[in-house]
Amino acid sequence: METITFLIEHANYWAAVVLLMIGLYILTTRGNLIKKVVGLNIFQSAVFLLYISMGYVDGGSAPIVKEGIEVYSNPLPHVLILTAIVVGVATSSLALALIVRIREAYGTIEEDEIIELDQP
Amino acid sequence: MSFVTANLPALQVAVPLIAAPICALLVRGRYAWVFTTIVAWLTFAISLALMGEVLDKGSVSYSMGGWEPPWGIEYHIDALSALLLVLISGMAAIITPAARHAIGVEVTERARRLFFTVALLALTGMLGIVATGDAFNLYVFLEISSLASYALIAMGNSRRATTAAFHYLILGTIGATFILIGVGLIYSATGTLNMADMAGRLRAVGVTPTVEAAFAFIIIGAAIKFALFPVHFWMPNAYTYAPSLVSAFFGATATKVGAYILIRFIFTVFGEHFAFGEMHLSWVLIPVAIAGAFVASLVACWQDDLKRMLAFSSVAQVGYIGLGIGLGNQDGVVAAVVHVFNHGLMKGALFLVMACVILRLGSADMASFRGLGKRMPVVMAAFVIAGLSMIGVPLTVGFISKWYLVVGALQEGLWPVAALVLISSLIAAVYIWRVVEVAYFKEPDDDAPVKATPPLLLIPTLALAVLCIVFGVATDFTVNVALLATTTLGIAP
């Protein structure tokens, strides 16, 4: 019983861990460069979730000042992660731009074919 | 004037940041180059002023926007930060004049102003990482410099530059995200993002699984950025196919920023006792660093593309810096800090030699080096001086760092480690000698006289080579600053 409550109470962390692993798995096993970018996005989203759920205070309301509310959630992790999301968007767009150039130069976006084309 | 002196830490980062979009608006590549050179020298002047202030009065603390730390973002410049600021902005100041000719063969006229814009952003990011005292701010600057460096590497003229940049992007993002996870975990344990404040509160929290996980994530994330063996895979290709000047600038500075992040988190945030006493970091860092120094040096001996050889030699030298950090005693960390600075000088010089050779002969293959001692004597002399530093010959900068490294290892009673450092230096002698032999004792394939190297490229190359000797003879500056840095980091002598 104790184990089950432990698992349920930390559901947000489990979600982050599972997503993090899915992202890493895609990054290491898929040869398609677009799929790698998708994997990278899942990987980063896991961290976004970790930060956002971390800011929740038990019984706290949304951090908007209102009469009659005493406990607020911590808004700082949310603000931080907004910055990290912007960084993630920039990374994805740069990665996609690179993929366009790779496709122009090699005619493929499959990693094994690219490695083969580079063999002298 | 007092406005400027009071806001030096902010200006250090703000000047190149504001200059970057202005540079994008300049119509011609030539204007962008002049503008970037001026900005680089300006940041160098600011960093020297900051260094003067740190040596004079001790660490400088600056509250961004007037918000007091730990609530606002604090810029904190101690001896370690100041040395890194001088190294990064100094390298930028020395290398940008050379861009006039060196990028001529590698970057198209249309892309040139954007090249300089992105270079200024990379400079901003690296200076920001070193200047800031806020852990999340460090992550943001890390991503600014990383994104800029992916773009710069992709500007190389071989198609393999794009794949190298893509791989670096994947690994670099994993590394930076690991640091982000670590910072988040520390925040959840301490409720602060200010690094000095974190340090105090972590002592109160003690050793919990959250803090241990944070430590592991940050060390691995920083090690990827630092290109420490065996997570160095992005580096050889990235430095081989990037434009030579980009290799020179990043070879001299980018991995050093990774070393800075490692030192800052291990000693300032987590503290020596937690890192070495509780987490036994030495047991991980020392074997990995020594293995890296050996494997990468050996691989370097078999490379025919000399830019690739230098990239592998960088992996080996990163091993020495990692070893110094892993020893964890004062001499070890002094060796690491001094080597961060010294390796910047020699790797910068060696990659600039490659830029000279590529400009005149079209490639940096072993074949172009045949008889180079006669064809480009001055450039080759710079290679020999920087190469001797790489081996660690007395009177060059390399000797000083190796000396402290060996002393640090012996102090811990690890004489086999000291012996291994000396043996791996001999392997460095092998790959440097290979080039020297080909350059001085082989007849060139083609006897046509080579046009003289343009002075704007030759002077920076020679300047860095001469600095390798200057700082090898007059060691007071680097060693004193490194000693001061270890005292501020709280490492007992």
> What pLDDT, on the 0 to 100 scale, is given for residue B117?
92
Q: Which residues numbered 112-151 in B keep a CB inside 8 Å of some CB on A?
A: 136, 139-140, 143, 147, 150-151
Q: Dihedral sign, CA of B358, B247, B228, B433?
A: positive
pTM score above 0.80: yes
In the numeric block, which tokens belong to residue B254? 């980018």
Other CB atoms within a 10 A radius of the CB of residue A81 amount to 21
Who among B166, B174, B180 is closest to A84 (CB)? B180
> What pLDDT, on the 0 to 100 scale, is given for residue A1?
76
Distance from CA of A11 to the nearest CA of B (A): 16
* Rounded distance between C-alpha atoms, residue B249 and residue B267, angstroms: 27
SS3 content of chain A, % helix, strand, coil (to 5): 75, 5, 25
Comparing CA positions, the residue from B221, B232, B122 lying closest to residue B174 is B221
* Rounded distance between C-alpha atoms, residue B475 and residue B293, angstroms: 24
Chain-chain contact of B154 with A101 (C-beta, under 8 angstroms): yes
Which chain A residue shows the shortest CA-CA distance from B148? Answer: A94
Phi, psi of A107, rounded to the nearest 5 degrees:
80, 10
List helix spans (H) across B26-78. 29-57
Q: Establish if A22 touches chain B: CB-CB under 8 angstroms.
A: no
Do the interacting molecules here have an ipTM over 0.90? yes
Q: Which amino acid, one-letter code, is at B433? A: W
A63 burial level (CB within 10 Å; 0-12, 13-18, 19+): middle
- Determine the residue among A43, A48, A52, A87 to mutate to test chain B binding: the one whose Cβ has the most chain B Cβ atoms within 10 Å: A87
Mean pLDDT of A94-108: 91
Chain-chain contact of A98 with B162 (C-beta, under 8 angstroms): yes
CB B469 within 8 A of CB B395: yes
Q: Dihedral sign, CA of B80, B82, B87, B92?
A: positive
Phi, psi of A70, rounded to the nearest 5 degrees:
-100, -40
Chain-chain contact of B147 with A98 (C-beta, under 8 angstroms): no
Q: Which amino acid, one-letter code, is at B88? A: I
Distance from CA of A47 to the nearest CA of B (A): 6
Chain-chain contact of B173 with A90 (C-beta, under 8 angstroms): no
In the numeric block, which tokens belong to residue B256? 């050093």
Phi, psi of B159, rounded to the nearest 5 degrees:
-70, -20
Other CB atoms within a 10 A radius of the CB of residue B206 amount to 10
* Rounded distance between C-alpha atoms, residue A69 and residue A59, angstroms: 10
Which chain B residue shows the shortest CA-CA distance from A44? Answer: B177
Enumerate the residues of chain B whose CB falls inside 8 A of the CB of residue A90.
143, 147
CB B240 within 8 A of CB B308: yes
Q: Which residues numbered 46-75 in A keep a CB inside 8 Å of some CB on B?
A: 47, 50-51, 54
Q: Establish if A95 touches chain B: CB-CB under 8 angstroms.
A: yes
Enumerate the residues of chain B whose CB falls inside 8 A of the CB of residue A79.
none
Chain-chain contact of A114 with B162 (C-beta, under 8 angstroms): no
- pLDDT per residue of chain B (493 residues) written in tens, 0 to 9: 678 888 888 889 999 999 999 988 887 878 888 999 999 999 999 999 999 988 888 888 888 888 888 888 899 999 999 999 999 999 999 999 888 877 767 777 778 888 899 999 999 999 999 999 899 999 999 999 999 999 999 988 888 889 999 999 999 999 999 999 999 999 989 988 999 889 889 888 888 889 999 999 999 999 999 888 888 888 888 898 888 889 999 988 988 999 999 999 999 998 888 888 888 888 889 999 999 999 999 999 888 888 899 999 999 999 999 999 988 888 889 999 999 999 999 999 999 999 888 888 878 888 888 888 788 888 888 999 999 998 888 888 888 888 898 998 898 888 888 888 888 888 988 989 988 888 888 887 776 777 778 888 889 999 999 998 898 888 888 888 888 888 888 887 7
Distance from CA of B230 to the nearest CA of A (A): 16
> What pLDDT, on the 0 to 100 scale, is given for residue B1?
65
Mean pLDDT of A90-98: 94
